[in-house]
Amino acid sequence: MTASGGTPAPTASVIPLAVLLGGLFGLGGLGSTALAVVLPQMSDSLGITTAQATWVISLYVLTMAVSTPVYGRLVDITGVRAPLLGGVLLMTVGAVLAATATDFAVMVLARLLQGLGTGVGPTLAVAVIGTRFDAEERVRGLAVVAGVAAAIGAAGPLLGGLVESVAGWRGTAALPALAMVILVLLWRRVGGPGVGSTFDVAGAVVVATAAGGVIMLLQSPSSGALVALAGAALVLVGAPLTLHRSRRGPDVFLPASVLLDRRILLTCLVAGTVPAAWFALLVVVPTRLGDRGWTPLVVGLVMLPCAVVAALAPRVTPQVSARFGAPVSMGLAAVMSCSSLLLAAWATHAGSVPFMVASVALVSVAFSLGQPALFAVVGDLAAVEVRGVAMGFATLVFLVCGSSGSAVVGGLSDVADGIGGLLVLGGLCAAGAVLSTVLPRTVRGRPAAEGGAVHG
């Protein structure tokens, strides 16, 4: 992704632009967290099971993940405005279709469209802020983006509950259509032509095939053997083709210079612990609170402190990154994510509402700290000529991990009194936290003047 939108005056503040981009990104999270609080009502209306309802979340995040590098390529080709318009239109059409769905098949189609549109949010945040501002302002801007996105996501249960109390679960499903307002406010700020590029459609398809297979495998414990077999088949087909395609040159969807760089891959996997925990808890905790017989509005009010914490986090996290560096910050975020999952598992078992809420607040801080750190490290590791692609790949892995988080807790929702998924995911995030201990050496091992990344 390039600075296709032009460069503002050096005195321009990153904050207003970051708030708008964070709002667009946050509506993606809102599409999961607001709907999560009304899943019981939606399930009853559509006549589906809890496991099927979880698919509505997982598939949404998956398509959001797969579409992010697509939008990155489109920004290079056309500039920012065309992908922005296309993404927001898909979000809006998907939201309206979801709000009027009469069966599970229509709801799945609606959420797929919505997810494909939502991928524009994280992509534009990185493309615009990552290329228009210097290092200090870039970290500050991305922290604001992450904080605003996390705050909106954490406020999802309250907004979903408020709308549900007036317009039912269908009104909640329509909330992402608010992206049209942000489209109007952003339009003049992101003008400018693209710089010309090619789009590898076949490469995008094989990457999406492999990613979709992974999610199906993770969801299969509650979805049956057929889903597991289909997921395995997609991985067996998609993974080798992705690797083969990556070796065909620098202009493919995911070139080998990024895919096979073990330090970039390690960095992305460590950072992936954050969205895995975030999306999982923003599904599990509202559902657990709803199981107590509370209305969606009451659940949203109980979780309001999470939104406050997420909104305040960007006032602190940039200072943490500046003091300790991005790799250490990412390690701290991984530890916090693991801790939030284990805390949520204990709180669910003990029936402690305050600690359930605290687990979501903790992972919201981790999100505000970890996401900007990811892009800072990947930007340092990647060679200049593939930096945009590397950012797109990082976003893809980040959101696939998020989809995996909701898939794991959904797939293991009936194990160990409902906390099996949290414990398994907590163990995976703990492994990521351990891996994070090598990140400082990984980044510092690359000479500052070196233009390229070291490949595996």
pLDDT for res 135: 67
- pLDDT tens digits, residue range 201-214? 888 888 888 877 87
- pLDDT number for residue 442: 58
Tell me, what's the pLDDT at 404?
78
Rounded to 5°, angle at Cα 427 from 424 and 430: 155
pLDDT at 378: 85
Q: Diameter of the chain by CA atoms?
A: 60
Domain residues for the domain of 134 are: 14-190+200-444
Residue 2 located in a structural domain: no
User: Is 120 in contact with 75 (CB distance < 8 Å)?
Assistant: no
Banded model confidence at residue 452, pLDDT cuts 50, 70, 90: very low
List pLDDT tens digits, range 373-402.
888 888 778 776 677 678 778 888 887 888
Whether residue 259 is predicted with pLDDT greater than 90 in this model: the reply is no
- 230, exposed or middle or buried, with CB in 10 Å at 0-12, 13-18, 19+? middle
| Rounded Cα–Cα distance for residues 355 and 362 (Å) | 10
Alpha-carbon distance 367 to 370, whole Å?
A: 5
Number of compact structural domains in the chain: 1
Query: How is 67-129 classified by DSSP, letter by letter?
Result: HHHHHHHHHHHH-SHHHHHHHHHHHHHHHHHHHT--SHHHHHHHHHHHHHHHTHHHHHIIIII
Question: Residue 226 is part of a domain; what is its CATH number?
Answer: 1.20.1250.20
Rounded to an integer, what distance in angstroms lies between the CA atom of residue 188 and that of residue 47?
A: 44
**Domain contains 4:** no
In 3D, which of 418, 388, 441 has the Cα closest to residue 195?
388
Q: Output the pLDDT for position 3.
A: 45
455: in domain: no
Task: Using alpha carbons, select from 30, 364, 396 the residue that is nearest to residue 179.
Answer: 30
**CA 302, 91, 5 angle in degrees (round to 5)?**
110
Three-state secondary structure along 269-336? HHHCHHHHHHHHHHHHHHHHHHCCCCCHHHHHHHCHHHHHHHHHHHHCHHHHHHHHCHHHHHHHHHHH
Is the overall model pTM greater than 0.85, yes or no?
no
The rounded mean pLDDT for the chain is 81
Q: Is residue 139 part of a domain?
A: yes
Whether 66 is in a domain gets the answer yes
8 A C-beta contact, residue 360 and residue 288:
no
- pLDDT at residue 340 above 90? yes
pLDDT of residue 11: 41
Phi, psi dihedral angles at 322 (to 5 degrees): -65, -35
